[in-house]
Structures are given as C-alpha cells and as structure tokens.
Amino acid sequence: MNRFVVVSAAVFLLISVAYLPLLNDLYWSSLKSLIPPVRVVADLLVRNGTIFTSDTSLPFSDSMAIRNGRILKVGSFSTLKDFIEDGTMELNLEGKVVVPGLIDSHVHLISGGLQMAQVGLRGVSQKDEFCKMVKDAVQNAKEGSWILGGGWNNDFWGGELPSASWIDEISPHNPVWLSRMDGHMALANSLTLRIAGVTSLTEDPIGGTIMRTPSGEPTGLLIDAAMELVSPFVQEVSVDERREALFRASKYALSRGVTTVIDLGRYYPGTTDELSWKDFQDVYLWADCLKKMMIRTCMFFPITTWSRLLDLKLQKGPVLSEWLYLGGVKAFIDGSLGSNSALFYEEYLDTPKNHGLVVMDPEKLSNFTIAADKSGIQVAIHAIGDKANDMILDMYESVAAANGDRDRRFRIEHAQHLAPGSADRFGQLHIVASVQPDHLLDDADTAPKKLGFDRAQKESYLFQSLLNGKALVAFGSDWPVADINPLHSIRTAVKRIPPKWNHAWIPSECISFTDALTAHTISAARAAFLDHHLGSLSSGKLADFVILTTNSWDEFSKDGSATIFATYVGGKQMYPST
C-alpha cells in the first residue's frame, strides 16, 4: 500500500511538472487579457500633405506618426488617429510636398565650413576680380598671417592659369595658398614658395607636378602630390576654428535640406592623412559628446589608416550615436579633369603627351584595398579619367575574387569618364557609382576642349548608362568643390542643361526625376550601409524629412522647381531654427 502511494505520488509529480509550462502559459494569457494594452502615442503627427517616402512598399502617403525621433508609421491620416493623444503635436502641411531628409554622398564638411570664412573665389570670372579679393584679404589680415581660401576655376575667365606673379605685389608679407575648385591644384605666392623651399631645382614628386615657366622657374601652381611640398608649412587652423566650421557647414547643409552627409574629410592628394583623424577626435567626438551635432555624419578615413579604423570599429562598432557613423576608407588613383591630372587612355588635346597622373602607386593601393576589405571595411576610391576607372574596376574585381563573396559595396567616387562598356561593369561587380551631377555644368564646355568632342560625348557623366547596367548610383556634391544643393543636383541630372546652353549635354544620359531623387535618398543610404537607419520614410527609421515650398508633386517632379521650406532631423525642426 505504501509502495503504491509512493508510486502514485511520483507519477502525479511528473505529470504536474510536464503540464506546468502549459498551465503557466494559460495563467499568464488569462492575466494579460485583464490588462489593457499599452497605447503608443506619437510626439508628432505630420498630416495633410504629399509625402514621398522613397520606400517602394508605400511610395506616397499623406501622414506620418513620429515618436522619440523615429517614425512609428506612415499612411493615411485615418490609419494614424490611434497615435494621437493630448500630448501629440500636429503639423498640418497644408498640402505641401515632403521628401526624406536628403543625403549628400560626398562632401568635405569641415573644409567647406572653413572656406566659408576664408577667401571665397567660387564663381570669380575675371583676373582683376581674383586679384582684388586676395588684396582685400591681405589688407584685413595681420602681416605674416596666412591668406587661405579657394574655389577658383580658371575656365570661368577663359582658361588662363593664375600664377604667383598675379598676387606677389599685393601680398609681399603674407604667404598665400589658394586651392582650385576641385582641390587638385593650388596657387602659392612667391613668399609661400620660399617658405616651403620650392625652387627651380625642386623635382616633381611622384603623382604630382610643379608648374613651371619656360625657364624652369615655378609659376606658383602645384598639382596633386606636389601640393604636399607646401601643405606642411601652412598654418593649421585651430580646434575652435574647426568646430565653428562644423557648425557653419551644418547650418548651411540644413538650409539645403541635407540631413546626412558622407564626409570624406580634409584628405586630398598632397595632404597628411592625420587631418581627418584630428577632425574626428577634436571636432566630431566633441560635438557628439556635448549633443551639439546638427546633421548626421558618416565618416571615411584615409586608406593608409585602415587598421586604425578597424580597431575603432571593433571597439565601438560602426554606430557611435544616431548622429555619428564610422564608414570606410578613401583613396585616390588620379587627379581631376580641370587640372589635367585625371588619368586617360588618350592624351589631353590641350597638353599633348599628357595622359594625367597616377597619384598613388597601384600596387600599394591594391595591397591596402585587399587588407581593408579582408577586415570588412568599405573602400571608396576616387577615379575620374577613363583609364583610372578601369584600373579601379579591375582591382575591385580582383580583390573580390581573392577575398570571397560578401556584401562589400565597393565605391568609386566620381566615375566621371567611362570607356565603352565600363558603365555596365559597375552593376555586374556590385560597385557603387558615387557621382556628382553638378560637376557636369562646369565640364560641359571644357571637356570637349580637353578630350575632343567624340570622347567627351561618349564618356562623360553616364548616369543613365549606369542605371541601365543596374548599378547603385548615389548622388553628392563634393562640397566645397561644388555647392551643396541636392535639389539643384537633381534638376541637373534630369535636364543636363549647362549655363548659357538651351539644350541638354548628352541628352541620352538624362535620368528620370524619381531616379534622381532616389539617388539622394535611399540609394545614397545604401551606398554607405546606412539604409537600416535612414534614407526613406519607413517605420522604425530616423524621422528626417524635408518640407518643400510646393503644393504640387506633378509640378515638382516635372521641373524640380521648389525650395526648402523646413528641414526636420529626428522629428525636430532644425531649419529654419526656432
């Protein structure tokens, strides 16, 4: 009898244990039914507009609910009413068009902010005006202080290159250093050349050129790697000046509807690879820590420092905050068209026997790329000439084969002139084409003079060809090389009509309005691995959006004629400042 009781008790215990999870689930489910569901309430409800989402699952809506800086839901107003409560702020768009926060895929943000406070030579169209601006800067500066600035384009005054002789007489006691608009050439006055020790005996460095008079004397112009002869002597801007430059640049970007930038840093041929890191540490980390960031920034660093970036990513991860992201590494293979240093198969018409420059040893570049890619770091390489682009396409294909398949999103920055068949290779090799539409406005007149009409027509700014080949195309400005203005960039890509022209340059390469807008939103985000965070107005993503002045999507998509009414970052109005 006792044995039976013991066995029965044991069986009962085993059955109870077996059914305990079920009983537990039943208990909790019945308890949950008694507890009313927690209601999610929006901080901000945006309604009564035409909202382009850049999300193919729901391209348009009229309303959007936001909480804690992120999008709860996008849809019709009737589907979002449940998110409204007493504390919800409602923003009536009154029919205006909204687009996702615009992304500039290629900027030098602090360089742009610094130039805004220096000698700004963008748009100068006469030698006398150029000299007057330098003279005014000298008169307002202390004797011995550096006169810095840039943005000049010699094509605007007929093509003649400036020289030290233009400005020596007006700057006898102030060293002058003025970069061309593309950042691949700079003008020094004679005092600067003396400080740097550049003379007729100085040899051209590898990847650079010292422009000389017929007698061999330096003219004051230094191209690409030759700029490194001067840059170590240039007075470095202070930390406070760089921090002010960030704020200045950020406010300007917001006024243009830009909420995120891919910052390639103060890294050009002829500069030290430390500047980008100094700015990261002294400026960006400082601003992020003190919650002073105004736009989201994804940073790229010189490829020579890939291992340093890897260590930082392993320690911190790629997302430092909702404002600051660690991107990849950047390198150069050639110079620029305007400086006759972009690398082409055929010679320049205006400088015979000149095919351009290779500004970094290809073997070194390949080794850096293999190492960075093997470590999972995204690589972006500047290539403008047709030969330069093919060299990088070949190298990327080789590296991918060596390191194996993965989602690496190699980037070519500019992809400006492509040999026949090269545009298709971007899509085939899954390489991002990070391009700058507004550059074509300057090059439409100069490219045929430098390359010949046929080459210029077949090779230049092949946006539609890239899209036809299924390439991921991301738009940027290269600011301060060109103005940071995505709406203008979109119009340029759609119409391709340069100043003083009444027809498109290479009309077959005009792209659709939607493709152009996508290249400044979700495609730009994908090109930098940011598409899970931003780039479209989708549930869960950061609530960055731009309200435009137009009430008509049809008119906006037809001619792009709209301006920025307001810019919101994380659901908060950042422009105009409140």
Spans of all domains in the chain: 3-32, 43-101+541-577, 109-233
For residue 539, what pLDDT is reported? 97
Decide if 60 contacts 51 (C-beta within 8 A).
yes
E-strand stretches of 462-535: 473-475
pLDDT band (50, 70, 90) for residue 329: very high
Nearest to 51 by CA among 22, 30, 80, 8: 80
Residue 199 DSSP code: -
* Average pLDDT value for residue range 266-274: 80
CATH architecture of the domain with residue range 109-233: Roll (3.10)
Sorted by sequence, the CB contacts under 8 Å of residue 45 that are 6+ apart come out as: 63, 64, 65, 66, 80, 83, 84, 88, 89, 90, 91
Neighbour-count burial for 520-556, b at 16+ CB within 10 Å, e otherwise: bbbbbbbbbbbbebbbbbbeebbbbbbbbebeebeeb
Quick: pLDDT tens for 396-409.
999 999 999 999 99
Structure tokens at 443: 């090059």
Structure tokens at 442: 């300057």
Quick: pLDDT tens for 240-265.
999 999 999 999 999 999 999 999 99
Decide if 549 contacts 562 (C-beta within 8 A).
yes
For residue 120, what pLDDT is reported? 87
pLDDT band (50, 70, 90) for residue 278: very high
Quick: pLDDT tens for 187-202.
999 999 999 999 999 9
Quick: pLDDT tens for 439-483.
999 899 999 999 999 999 999 999 999 999 999 999 999 999 999
For residue 547, what pLDDT is reported? 98
Query: Would you say residue 219 has pLDDT above 90?
Result: yes
For residue 235, what pLDDT is reported? 82
Decide if 191 contacts 162 (C-beta within 8 A).
no
**How would you classify residue 305: left for phi > 0, otherwise alpha for psi between -120 and 50, otherwise beta?**
alpha
* Average pLDDT value for residue range 383-390: 98
Structure tokens at 570: 């994380």
The Cα–Cα gap between 211 and 340 comes to 12
* Maximum distance among all Cα pairs of the chain, rounded to whole angstroms: 122
Query: Would you say residue 297 has pLDDT above 70?
Result: yes
pLDDT band (50, 70, 90) for residue 385: very high
The Cα–Cα gap between 382 and 425 comes to 17
Peptide bond between residue 480 and the one before it cis (omega within 30 degrees of 0):
yes
Quick: pLDDT tens for 169-193.
999 999 999 999 888 899 999 999 9
For residue 34, what pLDDT is reported? 57
Least confident of 11-25, 270-284, 368-382: 11-25
The Cα–Cα gap between 510 and 194 comes to 48
For residue 35, what pLDDT is reported? 60
Query: Would you say residue 57 has pLDDT above 70?
Result: yes
22-36, 124-138, 264-278: which is most confident: 124-138
Give strand pairing partners of 325. Answer: 298, 319
Quick: pLDDT tens for 60-114.
999 999 999 999 999 999 999 999 999 999 999 999 999 999 999 999 999 999 9
Query: Would you say residue 14 has pLDDT above 50?
Result: no
Class of the 43-101+541-577 domain?
A: mainly beta
Which residue matches tokens 């601006």? 133
State what percent of residues in the chain have pLDDT above 90: 83
Task: Decide if 43-101+541-577 and 109-233 have a common fold.
Answer: no
Q: What angle do CA 466, 471, 476 make, to 5 degrees?
A: 80
Query: Would you say residue 24 has pLDDT above 60?
Result: no
Give strand pairing partners of 178. Answer: 149, 187
The Cα–Cα gap between 383 and 416 comes to 7
Sorted by sequence, the CB contacts under 8 Å of residue 368 that are 6+ apart come out as: 303, 304, 306, 329, 331
Query: Would you say residue 7 has pLDDT above 50?
Result: no
pLDDT band (50, 70, 90) for residue 155: confident
Query: Could you give phi then psi for residue 174, rounded to 5 degrees?
Result: -125, 120
For residue 183, what pLDDT is reported? 82
Query: Would you say residue 159 has pLDDT above 90?
Result: no
Structure tokens at 231: 């840059």
Query: How much is the pTM?
Result: 0.88
Query: Would you say residue 13 has pLDDT above 90?
Result: no
Q: What angle do CA 399, 373, 433 make, to 5 degrees?
A: 75
Residue 343 DSSP code: -
